[in-house]
């Protein structure tokens, strides 16, 4: 890497091919320069000496050129070794990222790709552990109830109670699986500027609220969307929908009976702040510090609604990929989540 590093400091060798050509050019001209010096400074030019010097310089220049060119292949070999080490031993490399030529870009891409694959693999393992943990207990409960019904199911009252419990367990797990499927699908979404669109915030919120009519009616909640139709953001449609879906779901989940949820927007020259505020159970300072962390066990909703511990973590990641931010505030009663996004005007 030393020779590659030294050649990379020369401004006109800004391409990897230029480095090879430069070394080859020097290798070819070393014998020529040696012969010129011999002819110019030798007192007597001998044919035998001329031939021997020519052969010696050619062989020496060839050997030196091959050695230097071989050393220029070390960065490529380094990238190959990094890939093999990750595939075989799951070792994440620390490749140089400062070089600007084609090989430097290749090393940066290899480093980034391996880092992304390692992160995806870790998250996949964590999700598998989470699903395994959350499914094991209800499955065990279901088997216990089935055994009871098979052995001692004659008591009609107990039988009815256990059937209701079985239905409740099944319903909760179905909801859990639906949430997890949404999470897994969201994680596969490529969020980048090439996929961004102009999004009407108020319309998007109204569409999401339509999907929660049943849960809002069950708690008799008053939900007010006061965002003007003119407020627009520039973002990934599915990604931003997932963000506000999570915030609205949480607001409903943690609201008390006959509660109120207010969704509003505040704009300035460059950003729009969209807030989802409820007057439910809220959270304390200790909980606030871990709200956006991954797989932190969440509290049950006011009607026992489950939590995966992933929603806010994913929402934060999605918002940050839009160059935005998300914050949470509570004074112990009620909670307000604010999403700050770059504004988009007509």
What DSSP string runs through 41-68?
A: H-SS--HHHHHHHHHHHHHHHHHHHHHH
Q: What is the structure's pLDDT at 190?
A: 58
Q: What is the structure's pLDDT at 250?
A: 87
Q: How many CA atoms lie within 13 A of 332 on its CB side?
A: 0
Run of H or E including 77: helix 74-89
164: phi then psi, degrees, rounded to nearest 5? -65, -40
> What residues does each domain of the chain span?
2-112, 131-187, 193-342
Tens-digit pLDDT profile for residues 101-115: 888 889 989 988 888
Q: What is the structure's pLDDT at 294?
A: 65
Cβ partners under 8 Å of residue 340, min gap 6: 271, 272, 273, 324, 325, 326, 327
**∠ Cα 179 183 304 (to 5°):** 30
Spatial contact of 276 and 311, defined as CB atoms under 8 Å apart: no
Tens-digit pLDDT profile for residues 123-169: 677 666 656 666 776 777 788 788 877 777 677 777 887 788 788 77
Spatial contact of 187 and 314, defined as CB atoms under 8 Å apart: yes
184: phi then psi, degrees, rounded to nearest 5? -65, -40
Task: In whole angstroms, give the CA distance from residue 230 to residue 344.
Answer: 10
Query: At the topology level of CATH, where does 193-342 sit?
Result: Heat Shock Protein 90 (3.30.565)
Name the DSSP class of 193: G
Q: Positive or negative CA dihedral for 57, 63, 68, 69?
A: positive
Give the pair of three-digit tokens for residue 107. 């090393």
Spatial contact of 332 and 282, defined as CB atoms under 8 Å apart: yes
Pairing of strands 222-225, 260-267: parallel
Crossing angle of helices 311-320 and 156-187, in 10° steps, is 20
Task: In whole angstroms, give the CA distance from residue 120 to residue 181.
Answer: 16
Tens-level pLDDT at each residue, the chain (346 residues) = 788 888 888 888 888 888 888 888 888 888 888 878 877 777 676 778 778 888 888 888 888 888 888 888 888 888 899 999 988 888 888 888 888 888 888 998 998 888 888 877 876 776 666 566 667 767 777 887 888 777 776 777 778 877 887 887 788 778 777 766 765 665 555 566 767 888 999 999 998 888 788 788 888 899 999 999 999 998 888 788 889 988 998 899 888 889 999 999 998 888 899 999 998 888 877 676 777 876 555 566 666 666 666 778 888 888 988 889 999 888 878 889 999 998 764 4
């Amino acid at each position: 890497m030393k020779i590659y590093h030294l050649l990379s400091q020369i401004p006109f060798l800004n391409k990897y091919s230029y480095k090879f050509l430069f070394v080859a050019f020097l290798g070819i001209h070393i014998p020529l320069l040696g012969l010129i010096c011999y002819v110019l400074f030798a007192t007597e030019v001998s044919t035998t000496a001329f031939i021997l010097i020519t052969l010696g310089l050619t062989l020496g220049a060839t050997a030196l050129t091959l050695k230097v060119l071989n050393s220029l292949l070390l960065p490529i070999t380094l990238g190959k070794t990094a890939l093999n080490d990750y595939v075989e031993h799951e070792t994440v490399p620390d490749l140089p990222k400062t070089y600007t030529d084609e090989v430097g870009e290749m090393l940066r891409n290899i480093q980034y790709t391996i880092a992304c694959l390692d992160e995806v693999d870790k998250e996949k393992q964590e999700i598998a552990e989470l699903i395994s943990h959350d499914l094991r207990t209800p499955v065990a409960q279901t088997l216990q109830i089935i055994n009871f019904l098979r052995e001692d199911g004659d008591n009609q009252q107990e039988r009815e109670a256990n059937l209701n419990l079985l239905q409740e367990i099944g319903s909760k797990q179905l909801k859990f699986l639906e949430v997890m499927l949404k999470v897994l699908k969201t994680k596969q979404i490529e969020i980048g500027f090439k996929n961004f669109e102009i999004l009407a915030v108020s319309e998007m919120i109204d569409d999401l609220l339509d999907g929660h009519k049943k849960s809002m009616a069950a708690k008799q909640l008053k939900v007010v969307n006061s965002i003007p139709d003119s407020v627009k953001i520039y973002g990934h449609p599915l990604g931003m929908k997932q963000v506000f879906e999570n915030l609205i779901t949480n607001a409903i989940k943690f609201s008390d009976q006959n509660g109120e949820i207010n969704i509003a927007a505040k704009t300035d020259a460059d950003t729009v702040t969209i807030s989802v505020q409820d007057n439910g159970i809220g959270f304390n300072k200790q909980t606030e510090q871990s709200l956006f962390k991954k797989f932190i066990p969440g509290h049950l909703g006011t009607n026992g609604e489950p939590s995966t511990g992933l929603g806010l973590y994913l929402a934060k990641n999605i918002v940050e990929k839009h160059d935005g931010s998300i914050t949470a505030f509570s004074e112990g009663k009620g909670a307000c989540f604010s999403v700050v996004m770059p504004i988009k005007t007509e």
